[in-house]
Structure 1
Amino acid sequence: MVRFAANKRLGRSLLAQIYSQAVTIVCQLALVPLLLGVWGPERYGAWLVLAAVPTFLTFSDFGFTFVAKNEMTIAVSSGRKDIALETFQSVFSLINVIMPFLILAIILSILSFDLSRTLNISISSETEIKIATFEMVVNVILYQYFLLICAGVRCENRPATEAVLAATSRLAESVAYGVAAIFSHNFAVIAFFGLASRVTFIAISYVQMKRLSPWLKLGTRSASLQEVRRLAKPALAYMLVPISQAVLIQGPVVLLGAVKGPLMVVVFSTTRTLVRVGTSAANMFNNAFVAEYSSLAGNGDTRSFFNLYKFHAIVAVSLVGFYSLSMVLLGPLVLKLFTHGKVEFVHPFAELMLCAVALEMIWTSLFTPLSSINRHVLVTYILALLSLLGMLMSFAAAPKFGINGVAAILVAVNVGMVMVCFRVLHSALAKGVLHGRAE
C-alpha cells in the first residue's frame, strides 16, 4: 500500500518516536526521586514552582517554527530549496525581532517583583531566585532557535534524525540538572547547567543541520516580510490547538470544583487521567507520519498521499479499538489499584469519558495530514469554537447531570471534531491543494 522507501522512513520515524517517549518517561522517573532525595520535598517543591514560571513562553514563537517545518519539507520535496531557505531565514529573522523585546520585558518584570514573596519561596535568597528565573527564561527562548534548526534537519525528510536529536537534547538537559543538583542546592547554579546544555545542543544541532542540508544557513539575506505574513495565519491558528485542548481538559475540573465540590473533581480527574493514557501513544504514532505527508505534498503526489492516509486511518482506528476494549476490560481494576480502592469506575461516566478520548484519538489522526501541509486553519477555528461551546454547555449541564453531563458534552465535541476533520481533509484532497503553499 505504501512504497518501500516510505515504509522504511515511517519505521525509523516510529522507532525514533518510541525513543523520544522512552526518554520522557525515564527522565521523569529518574529525575523526580533524585531531586527529592538530594533536596528534600520543600526545596524540590520550590524548584517546581520556579520552573513553572517560564512555561508560558513555550509558544513565544507563535507557532511559526511548527509551520516552518512543514513548509520547508514541502518546498524541498518539490525541488524548491530557495523557497525553503526563504522560510527558514524569515522565521529566524522574526525570532530575532521578538526575542530581545521579550527578554527586556522579562528583565523588567523580574526587577519589579519580589519573586520570593510572590512565589512563596522562602528557602532561597531573592537574588538566587531572580538569577535562576532569568536563566530558565533564556533557556526557553533559546529553545525556539533549537526548534527552527530542527526544521532544517527535518526538511530533507529526516524526521527520525530530528526526533532523536530533540529527545537526546531533553535527556542531556535532565542529566545536567541531575548532576548539578548532586553538587549544589543553589537554583541559579542548577538553571545555569540546564542553560549550558541547551546552548551545547543548539551548536550540535546546527552542525548536524549543515551536514545534512549544507545549503541552509542562519542569516537574513533571503528573509522577507511577505513570507512572515504568509505563514502567520497557519502559525497563529495552530496555537489554538493546545489552547482549546487545555480548555477541554482543565475547564471541567474548575467547573466541577465550583459546582459539585472536590469529591466529584477527584472522580473526574483520576478517571480522565487513566483513560487518557492512550493519547500519548496516539500522538507518538501520528507524529511518525507528519514528515512523510509533507514530502508527498511537496511532490504533488495526491494518490500516494491518499494511500498513506488510508493506511494511517486503518491502523489508527484498529489501535483505538484495541485500546478501548482493553480499557473496558481492565480499566476498573487498574483504577482501583492506582487509587488504592479510593476511586472506582462510575457508570456511565467512565464509559462516556473513554468514548470521548477514543474519538479524540481518531480526530487527531485525521488532523495530522492537514497540519502536515498547513491546511489546518479552519479546523482549529472550529475546535476553538466547539471548546468554548462545550464549556458553556457544561456549565449549564453540570448542576443537574453532574459528571455524566460533562462527559456527554465532551463526547459531542469530539464527535463534531471527527466530522469536521474528515470533511475538511477529503475536501482538500478533492481540490488538489497538495500542489499549493499554505495561505
Structure 2
Amino acid sequence: MKEMLVKNLLANSVNQVITIATLLVLTPLFLHYWGDQRYGAWLVMVSIPLLLAYADFGSGPVFANHLSLKMEDPSENPEEIFWTGLATQIAFCLLTTSAFLAFMFSHREATGNTQLTVSICMTTYAVLGVLATYITGCSRAIGENHNYTNIGTAIRGTEIIVTALALNLGGDEQTLATSLMANRAIGTALIFLKIKTNKQIFKTGKPKANLGLAKHLIPDSMSFALYPLSLALMLQIPINIINSNFGPVAVALYATTRTLARVPVQFSNIISSSLWPILTKIIGVKEDLHGGAKIIQQANLAIIVFIIIFIPSGLLLGNYIFNLWTAGALKFSPELFAALGIQAGISAVWMNSIMKTISTNSHTRTCLTLSIITILTLSICDAIASEGMTSIIMTLIAGEILMLIAAQYRPLDRKKS
C-alpha cells in the first residue's frame, strides 16, 4: 500500500508540476503574442466548449471505481466492465456534444466561423480528454495508475510546445484549437493502446458491453457528474459573467491572477489523485471508514499549512512576480490575489475532503448538494456583477465555504455497488 502511494505521489507530483508549468509558461506567451484583450477573448471563446470535459455525465469515474472495487472478485468480468464503461461514455459524449455543436452551427451567423471552428476542435479536445481520464482511472484496478499518469503528463507537456509554436508562427485561434485537438488525439490513442495490452483486464480481447451493468451504474454516474460539473461551472462561468460586465481585458486580469492563486489547488490535486486508489481499497474494499477519514484529515492538514504559507508570501512578492511574469502587460491587484487565494484554498480542502465519497461511488447526496450550491452561487454572482469584480469573488468564496461544509458528509450508509 505504501509503495503504491509513493509511486502515485511521484507520478501525480510530476503531473501537477507540468500542469502548473503549462499555465505559467503559456500565460505570458499569450499576452506577448496576442495582448490582454485578444487573450481574454480566447478564454471566453473556449470556456463553454471546455465544459464538455464532463459530457460523459460522470460515467467514467463511476465505472473506473466499479472496476477497481470488483477487480479481485472472481465472479466479475473486468473486461466487460471496462467496455461497458467506455461504451457508456461514448454514447453520452456523442449525445451531449452533438446537441452543443448543433446549437453552435445554427448560430454561426451571429457568432462567426472562427467561434464555430474553435468550438468543434475544443469540444473534440475535451471529449478525448474524458476518454483518456477514464482509461487512466481504470489503471487503478491493476496498480498501474502512476504509469498512465506519466503518459498523460508527457502529453500535457507537449501542449506547451504545440501552443508556443502556433503562437510564434502567427497562428490564429482556429490554428491553435486544431493543433491542441491533434495533440490530445495522439495522447488518448497512446493511453488506449497501452491498456489494451494488459492481460489482467483483457482476457479474451473481444469487446463486449453489458447493458444490465450500464443500467445499474448510470444512476450513480448521473449523480457523480454533478461534482465535476459544479467544479467546472465555478471555474468557467465567472469568466463569462466578468466578460459580459467588464470586457475581455478584465477577463485576462482575472484569469491570470487566478492562475497564480490556484497553485494550492494543484498541490491538493497531487494529494487527492494519489489517495484515490488507496481510498478505494481502504473504504471501498476493506470498508475501513475510520482509516480513510484519518488519511484525509492528515492530507487536509498538509494543504492548510501550505495555504497559510502561500497566500502571505504571494502578497509580499506578488507585485514583483506578476510584473516579471506578464512583462508588465497586466497590473497586479493584491486584493484580487488575496480573494482568489482564499477561494482557491477553501476549494482545495473541500475537493480533498470529498474523496471519501467519490472514491467509493457513495456520492449521490453530496454531489446533489454541491450542484444546488453552485447554481445559487453563480445566480447571485450574475445578479450582483454590476457591483464589481470583488463582489463576484466574495460570492464565490461564500459558495466554496458551503461546499466545504457539504463535503464533510460521511458515507456511513454506503450501499455496495
Give your verdict on TM over 0.5: yes
Q: Which residue does 1:126 correspond to in 2?
A: none
Check whether the contact 1:363–1:418 (CA below 8 A) recurs between aligned residues: yes
Change (3 A) 1:81 1:151: farther
Counterparts of residues 265-344 of structure 1 (less than 5 Å): 271-302=257-288, 303-331=290-318, 333-335=320-322, 340=328, 342-344=331-333
Distance in 1 (alpha carbons) for counterparts of 2:142 and 2:266: 26
Distance in 2 (alpha carbons) for counterparts of 1:180 and 1:273: 22
Q: Which residue does 1:21 correspond to in 2?
A: 16
TM-score of the pair, normalised by structure 2: 0.75
1:236 shift after superposition: 2.5
Q: Which residue does 1:10 correspond to in 2?
A: 5
SS of residue paired to 2:234: helix
When the two structures are aligned, how many residues end up with a matched partner? 409
Distance in 1 (alpha carbons) for counterparts of 2:27 and 2:304: 35
**344, 347, 353: which one pairs with 1:366?**
353
**63, 72, 87: which one pairs with 1:68?**
63
Distance in 2 (alpha carbons) for counterparts of 1:185 and 1:330: 34
Distance in 2 (alpha carbons) for counterparts of 1:189 and 1:265: 20
Distance in 2 (alpha carbons) for counterparts of 1:408 and 1:219: 53
Distance in 2 (alpha carbons) for counterparts of 1:372 and 1:224: 22
**Counterpart code for 2:305:** S
Change (3 A) 1:32 1:246: closer
Counterparts of residues 153-172 of structure 1 (less than 5 Å): 153-171=139-157
Q: Which residue does 1:124 correspond to in 2?
A: none
1:350 shift after superposition: 5.1
Check whether the contact 2:9–2:270 (CA below 8 A) recurs between aligned residues: yes
1:72 shift after superposition: 1.2
Choose 53-62 or 403-412, whichever is displaced more. Answer: 53-62
CA shift digits 1:15-41 (9 cap, x unpaired): 11122234445666788999999xx86
Change (3 A) 1:92 1:320: same
TM-score of the pair, normalised by structure 1: 0.71
Tell me the C-alpha RMSD between the 2 structures: 4.8
**57, 70, 86: which one pairs with 1:92?**
86
Structure number with larger C-alpha Rg: 1
Change (3 A) 1:366 1:8: same
Q: Which residue does 1:125 correspond to in 2?
A: none
Distance in 2 (alpha carbons) for counterparts of 1:391 and 1:103: 23
CA shift digits 1:202-251 (9 cap, x unpaired): 35643445336254566454x33232223223322333334333443444
1:119 corresponds to 2:113? yes
Distance in 1 (alpha carbons) for counterparts of 2:320 and 2:96: 49
Change (3 A) 1:299 1:220: same
Distance in 2 (alpha carbons) for counterparts of 1:165 and 1:93: 23
Distance in 1 (alpha carbons) for counterparts of 2:180 and 2:245: 45
1:272 shift after superposition: 3.9
1:326 shift after superposition: 2.7
1:289 shift after superposition: 0.9
Distance in 2 (alpha carbons) for counterparts of 1:396 and 1:287: 35
CA shift digits 1:42-86 (9 cap, x unpaired): 9x99xx79x95964543332221122222211222x535715444
SS of residue paired to 2:407: helix
Identity %: 17
Change (3 A) 1:103 1:343: closer
1:293 shift after superposition: 0.8
Change (3 A) 1:342 1:207: closer
Change (3 A) 1:291 1:94: same
Counterparts of residues 166-205 of structure 1 (less than 5 Å): 166-171=152-157, 195=182, 198=185, 202=189, 205=192
1:419 shift after superposition: 1.6
1:91 shift after superposition: 1.6
Change (3 A) 1:88 1:387: same
Choose 51-60 or 143-152, whichever is displaced more. Answer: 51-60
Distance in 2 (alpha carbons) for counterparts of 1:313 and 1:233: 30
Check whether the contact 1:210–1:217 (CA below 8 A) recurs between aligned residues: no
Choose 208-217 or 11-20, whichever is displaced more. Answer: 208-217
Check whether the contact 1:316–1:365 (CA below 8 A) recurs between aligned residues: no
1:363 shift after superposition: 0.9
Check whether the contact 2:300–2:353 (CA below 8 A) recurs between aligned residues: yes
1:290 shift after superposition: 0.8
1:392 shift after superposition: 3.6
**Counterpart code for 1:61:** D
SS of residue paired to 1:290: helix
Check whether the contact 1:390–1:410 (CA below 8 A) recurs between aligned residues: yes
Check whether the contact 2:162–2:179 (CA below 8 A) recurs between aligned residues: no
Distance in 2 (alpha carbons) for counterparts of 1:413 and 1:264: 22
Distance in 1 (alpha carbons) for counterparts of 2:341 and 2:169: 45
Change (3 A) 1:282 1:389: same
1:384 corresponds to 2:371? yes
1:410 shift after superposition: 2.6
CA shift digits 1:167-211 (9 cap, x unpaired): 234446776888999999898999599648835863564344533
Gaps of 5+ in 2: none
Distance in 2 (alpha carbons) for counterparts of 1:295 and 1:284: 18
Change (3 A) 1:338 1:86: same
Distance in 2 (alpha carbons) for counterparts of 1:251 and 1:114: 21
CA shift digits 1:262-293 (9 cap, x unpaired): 88767755544432232222223221111111
CA shift digits 1:101-157 (9 cap, x unpaired): 789889989998979x92249xxxxxxx97x99787666655554444334322123
Change (3 A) 1:209 1:266: closer
Distance in 2 (alpha carbons) for counterparts of 1:104 and 1:208: 28
Gaps of 5+ in 1: 1-5, 122-128
Change (3 A) 1:209 1:172: farther
